[in-house]
């Protein structure tokens, strides 16, 4: 059973995908850093969504747009390459705006463990569902073939005037009914598995990934701190509605 945190993350991803004006990184605007430290990123999300969609440029000293709110928050996209305690080390692209980016190795505090776990769980479940569908389709085809053969024998014996034919009709009618029921049951299972497969596939599309690997794509705070020269960013604790 999915944890409450994982379910909440999935719901937020559904919301983000439905909001066509916002990129997937614009989710969970409320971030918590302590009892008296709560940040709402809604103004930043709104500003980000208004920017033109064009290719970003690499700039080691990126300029920040004059009207950009909450300039200490950057969009980070990248993959986990190591861990430092409970934090992640990322090889990332850091966007100060949709138009300006820089490549950076960084440490991410409060990383999205639940979302990453959900991504790989869904991958495994989807692969398992596909295998089950293949097996169920094979059984369905076998049952359908057996049903067709039994039905053909029944029709053949009905055209026969022999007493043996009457006995065979009864026996093959029972086989036909049994195989029809088995085929119907297997078809229902195939349909249920396909529905579950489609749902899992849709959920996976809502989680950032690259070449089958979970991809971090969130707004995080540039803390101004570093560890052994590696800058530290902080996702914050996700709070409130997505």
- pLDDT over 50 (residue 242): yes
Mean predicted confidence (pLDDT) in 158-172: 57
pLDDT in tens, 183-205: 666 677 778 878 888 888 888 88
Would you state the structure tokens that stand for residue 210, as one six-digit string? 């690259």
Structural domains of the chain sorted by starting position, each given as residue range(s) with its CATH number in brackets: 4-115+219-239 (no CATH), 118-205 (1.10.287)
pLDDT in tens, 226-239: 999 999 999 999 98
- Give the length of the chain: 242
> pTM of this prediction?
0.68
Q: How many CB atoms lie within 10 A of CB 93?
A: 17
pLDDT in tens, 96-123: 998 899 999 999 999 999 999 999 999 9
More reliable by pLDDT, 190 or 11: 190
215 — alpha (psi -120 to 50), left (phi > 0) or beta? beta
Residue 51 CA: distances (Å) to CA of 25, 64, 106, 115, 116:
14, 13, 26, 27, 28
What are the φ and ψ backbone dihedral angles of 40, each rounded to 5 degrees?
-115, 115
Query: What is the pLDDT at residue 17?
Result: 40
């Amino acid at each position: 059973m999915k944890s409450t945190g994982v379910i909440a993350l999935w719901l937020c991803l559904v919301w983000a995908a439905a909001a066509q004006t916002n990129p997937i990184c614009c989710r969970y605007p409320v971030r918590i850093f302590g009892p008296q430290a709560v940040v709402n990123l809604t103004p930043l999300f709104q500003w980000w969504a208004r920017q033109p969609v064009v290719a970003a440029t690499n700039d080691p000293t990126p300029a920040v747009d004059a009207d950009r709110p909450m300039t200490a928050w950057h969009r980070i996209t990248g993959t986990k390459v190591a861990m430092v305690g409970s934090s992640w080390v990322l090889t990332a692209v850091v966007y100060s705006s949709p138009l300006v980016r820089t490549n950076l190795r960084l440490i991410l505090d409060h990383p999205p463990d639940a979302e990453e776990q959900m991504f790989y769980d869904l991958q495994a479940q989807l692969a398992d569902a596909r295998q089950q569908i293949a097996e169920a389709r094979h059984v369905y085809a076998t049952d359908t073939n057996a049903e067709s053969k039994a039905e053909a024998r029944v029709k053949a014996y009905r055209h026969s005037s022999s007493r043996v034919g009457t006995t065979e009709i009864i026996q093959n009618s029972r086989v036909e009914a049994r195989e029809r029921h088995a085929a119907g049951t297997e078809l229902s299972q195939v349909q249920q598995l396909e529905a579950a497969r489609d749902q899992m596939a849709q959920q996976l599309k809502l989680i950032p990934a690259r070449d089958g690997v979970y991809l971090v794509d969130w707004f995080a705070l540039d803390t101004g701190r570093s560890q052994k020269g590696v800058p530290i960013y902080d996702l914050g604790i996700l709070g409130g509605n997505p």
